[in-house]
């Protein structure tokens, strides 16, 4: 009898915990068109050995050489414009944590430059044109002037804290079987919030996250007191979203769109 009573108590507690953790999906009264958005562009496009970039970035800007006091930047480096503010916030947060020795070693690469690197150095060093994340304008190589990234405070800080600002370590050591790319502790990719935080919490590489979205279709989460509703759709004409004026649409570079809405309270 005691065992039965204990089991019932555990079941009730478990049920309460489970229901408490559920976040109700919002109503979706607003219909937006998708014809103006491309599956091949956006912050969440997947580019890897099997998925070729279909569209060059259209909003490139030069990374300011004075973006932060703790990073060395060559004036030739460029990224998509929407990456600049979160990148600056990332370096400034590191500065507040006494992390001082960053250097940007690479950012956007044209298809021509990427192909040149591939032909000169081979597949062990670079991917051929069209298959490198650097062509998206969303990725950059961040090093440390104090040593190798895997051994420095800069590398350790970024791996832990970059997701707070929309960046992910694209090629982690324990995800080589997923990414088919060797560990690159310097290669960071912008995917935006809340995606980077969800990926960190669930220990997803980008490939796994896209698969997760395709399976789940939607989820709601809160990051820094902001509530996000994330949807996945393969409909190329319209989608119903929450009643909000703040949303972002990204293609996955495969066959669908990810819509990220901020729930205005």
User: Which active-site residues does the annotation give?
Assistant: 184
Q: How far apart are CA 150 and CA 104, in angstroms?
A: 15
CB 42 within 8 A of CB 258: yes
Report helix, strand or coil for 216.
helix
R_g (Cα) of the chain, nearest Å: 21
């Amino acid at each position: 009898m005691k065992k039965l009573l204990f089991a019932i108590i555990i079941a009730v507690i478990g049920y309460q915990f489970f229901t408490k953790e559920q976040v109700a999906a919002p109503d979706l009264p607003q219909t937006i068109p998708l014809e103006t958005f491309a599956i091949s562009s956006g912050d969440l496009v997947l580019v890897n050995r099997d998925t070729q970039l279909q569209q060059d970035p259209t909003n490139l800007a030069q990374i300011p050489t004075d973006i932060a006091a703790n990073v060395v930047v060559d004036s030739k480096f460029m990224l998509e414009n929407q990456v600049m503010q979160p990148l600056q916030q990332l370096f400034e947060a590191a500065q507040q944590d006494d992390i001082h020795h960053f250097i940007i070693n690479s950012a956007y690469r044209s298809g021509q430059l990427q192909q040149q690197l591939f032909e000169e150095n081979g597949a062990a060093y670079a991917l051929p044109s069209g298959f490198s994340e650097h062509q998206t304008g969303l990725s950059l190589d961040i090093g440390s002037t104090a040593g190798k990234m895997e051994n420095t405070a800069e590398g350790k800080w970024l791996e832990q804290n970059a997701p707070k600002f929309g960046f992910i370590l694209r090629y982690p050591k324990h995800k080589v079987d997923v990414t088919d790319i060797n560990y690159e502790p310097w290669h960071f990719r912008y995917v935006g919030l809340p995606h980077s935080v969800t990926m960190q919490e669930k220990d997803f590489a980008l490939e796994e996250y896209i698969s997760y979205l395709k399976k789940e279709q939607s989820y709601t989460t809160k990051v820094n007191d902001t509530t996000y509703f994330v949807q996945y759709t393969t409909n190329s004409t319209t989608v119903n979203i929450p009643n909000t004026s703040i949303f972002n649409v990204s293609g996955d570079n495969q066959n669908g769109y990810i819509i990220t809405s901020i729930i205005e309270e």
